[in-house]
């Protein structure tokens, strides 16, 4: 390495060292929670210390993160106690408001530990031992939970069985405004029922954008014995895959699920038929436009057109649920169905049928196995 390249590299490294100051490595969702908790702590401090209305964040931080260690621990403990007493938990449909859960309170503790490590050095104050702050806040958490009570009971989530899923699918035939929008959710329910995948593996998540199911993840394959069409879905976006390389501990995993066509009695649950119908309706398959042509063809595998493979399988709905929005946005990007919309649509349809409030078709793998859905098998890569 010549001297000029060496000097340039040294400058680059030193500049990167300066630029990394204040870099936040947590996931976007975690950062959002941390920011919310900091604003809550500042609002608490402003009222607790009787500060003027026009006090700036810098002024508040000087009192919120004092130099004296005992004063800091006192602030943190009082904030934790105040939060548990005044911040409500979940509100049930009956009107009953639960106490905050211990896990939610623990999230406040983690946020405050993060901000103490971030704010105190910026104020040129020595950070107390993490264990000391952790133990002090934990003591406050356990005390208020013992004194004021905790969540009275855990609300179980009632999974939807095959009977309830059939009722949902039948209800959709008579109540939906748009068949294009409804058929998307119907096949999502069937996929989730058979694979136990999460909404975030199918739809777009605001905290992990542009990670949704696309047509390149879907392959149709004909069974050599039964001649029925099956489908292979590759889930690239799993809950166990993190953006943080320290959490991944290796390469990202892709789950390949082979979903078979069921017998005639359970054809309503068929994922291959439903996905093929959507693909044909949108004209995504070369040379094939109807289901009759698909069944009469000699093809063994079907993939959508090359130019359509990066389109989302499921598009977001138009206002009022009158259709699907397949137009590009102002940035020239697709508008995929969101994971939140997937969950909300299921909840709305469940309530319309009189199901309990806490219900889901997104079951754990153990519950899926016990529910006797024999039309799937999965492998990792």
Model-wide pTM > 0.85: no
Which value, in Å, is the radius of gyration of the alpha carbons in the chain? 27
User: What are phi and psi for residue 185, nearest 5 degrees?
Assistant: -70, -35
55 and 141 in a common domain: yes
Residue 345, pLDDT > 80, answer yes
Q: What is the pLDDT of residue 207?
A: 74
Which of 312, 303, 270 has its CA nearest to residue 284?
303
CATH code where residue 306 lies? 1.10.443
328 and 206 in a single domain? The answer is: yes
Percentage with pLDDT > 90 across the chain:
43
Is there a single domain that holds both residue 262 and residue 323? yes
Q: Same structural domain for residues 132 and 208?
A: no
Residue where a domain terminates, one of 122, 148, 174: 148
Task: Give tens-digit pLDDT for 18-70.
Answer: 888 888 888 888 899 999 999 999 999 999 999 999 999 999 999 999 999 99
**90 and 208, same domain (yes or no):** no
- Is-contact 230 260, C-beta < 8 A? yes
Q: Among 197, 226, 178, 81, which residue's Cα sits nearest to residue 139?
A: 81
Does one domain contain both 125 and 224? Answer: no
Q: What's the confidence (pLDDT) of residue 96?
A: 47
Give the domain-ending residue among 94, 119, 148.
148
Average pLDDT over residues 218-234: 90
Residue 265 belongs to some domain of the structure? yes
User: Taking all residues of the chain, what is their mean pLDDT, rounded to a whole number?
Assistant: 83
Q: Is residue 67 part of a domain?
A: yes
CATH number of the domain within which 142 lies: 1.10.150
Task: Determine, yes or no, domain membership for 271.
Answer: yes
Phi, psi (deg, nearest 5) at residue 380: -95, 160
DSSP annotation of 129: P
What is the rounded CA–CA span in Å between residue 8 and residue 287? 57
- Average pLDDT in the 200-218 region? 87
Domain count across the chain: 2
CA gap 204, 316 in Å, rounded: 10
Q: Given strand 255-259, what is the order of strands in its sheet?
A: 301-302, 218-222, 229-235, 255-259, 376-380
Q: Indicate whether 43 and 66 sit together in one domain.
A: yes
Last residue of a domain, one of 97, 125, 148: 148
Residue 278 counted as domain residue: yes
347 with 208, same domain: the answer is yes
Residue 227 has pLDDT above 70, yes or no: yes
Residue range 230-254: mean pLDDT, rounded? 69
Sort strands 359-360 and 158-159 into parallel, antiparallel or unpaired.
parallel
Q: Which of 95-99, 224-228, 336-340 has the lowest mean pLDDT?
A: 95-99
Same domain, 126 and 165: no
**Is residue 16 assigned to a domain?**
no
On whether residue 17 sits in a domain, the answer given is no
Residue 316 lies inside a defined structural domain of this protein: yes
- Residues 24-35 pLDDT 10s: 888 888 899 999
pLDDT in tens, 98-153: 678 888 899 999 999 999 999 999 999 999 999 999 999 999 999 998 888 775 54
Angle at 325 between CA 322 and CA 331, to 5 degrees: 150
Same domain (yes/no): 87, 219 = no
Residue 247 sits in which domain range?
Answer: 158-380
The token pair at 29 is 């969702």
Same-domain pairing of 143 and 177: no
298 pLDDT band, cuts 50/70/90, is: confident
Residue 293: what pLDDT?
Answer: 87
Tell whether 14 is covered by a domain: no
Q: By percentage, how much of the chain surpasses pLDDT 70?
A: 84
> In this structure, are 239 and 128 located in the same domain?
no
The region, left, alpha or beta by phi > 0 then psi within -120 to 50, assigned to residue 270 is beta
């Amino acid at each position: 390495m010549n001297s000029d390249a060496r000097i340039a590299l040294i400058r680059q490294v030193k500049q990167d060292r300066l630029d990394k100051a204040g870099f936040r490595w947590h996931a976007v969702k975690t950062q959002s929670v941390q920011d919310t908790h900091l604003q809550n702590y500042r609002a608490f401090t402003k009222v607790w210390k009787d500060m003027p209305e026009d006090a700036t964040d810098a002024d508040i931080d000087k009192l919120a993160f004092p130099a004296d260690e005992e004063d800091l621990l006192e602030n943190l403990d009082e904030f934790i106690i105040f939060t548990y007493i005044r911040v409500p938990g979940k509100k049930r449909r009956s009107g009953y408001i639960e106490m905050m859960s211990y896990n939610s309170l623990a999230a406040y503790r983690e946020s405050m530990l993060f901000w103490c490590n971030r704010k105190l050095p910026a104020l040129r104050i020595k950070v107390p031992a993490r264990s000391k702050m952790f133990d002090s806040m934990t003591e406050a958490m356990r005390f208020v939970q013992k004194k004021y009570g905790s969540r009275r009971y855990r609300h179980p989530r009632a999974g939807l069985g095959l009977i309830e899923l059939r009722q949902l699918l039948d209800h959709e035939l008579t109540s939906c405004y748009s068949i294009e929008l409804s058929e998307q959710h119907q096949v999502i329910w069937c996929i989730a029922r058979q694979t136990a995948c999460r909404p975030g593996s199918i739809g777009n998540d605001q905290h992990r954008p542009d990670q949704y199911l696309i047509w390149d993840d879907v392959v149709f394959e004909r069974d050599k014995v039964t001649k029925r069409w099956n489908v292979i879905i590759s889930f690239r976006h799993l809950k166990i895959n993190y953006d943080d390389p320290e959490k991944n501990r290796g390469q990202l995993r892709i789950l390949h699920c082979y979903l078979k066509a069921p017998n005639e009695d359970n054809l309503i649950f068929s994922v291959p038929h439903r996905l093929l119908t959507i693909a044909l309706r949108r004209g995504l398959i070369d040379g094939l436009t109807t289901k009759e042509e698909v069944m009469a063809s000699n093809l063994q595998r079907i993939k959508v057109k090359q130019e359509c493979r990066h389109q989302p399988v499921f598009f977001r709905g138009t206002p009022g649920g009158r259709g699907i929005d397949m137009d590009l946005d102002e940035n020239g990007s697709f508008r995929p169905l969101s994971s939140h919309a997937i969950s909300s649509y299921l909840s709305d349809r469940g309530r319309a049928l009189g199901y309990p409030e806490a219900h889901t078709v997104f079951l754990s793998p153990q519950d899926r196995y016990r529910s006797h859905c024999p039309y799937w098998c999965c492998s990792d890569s």
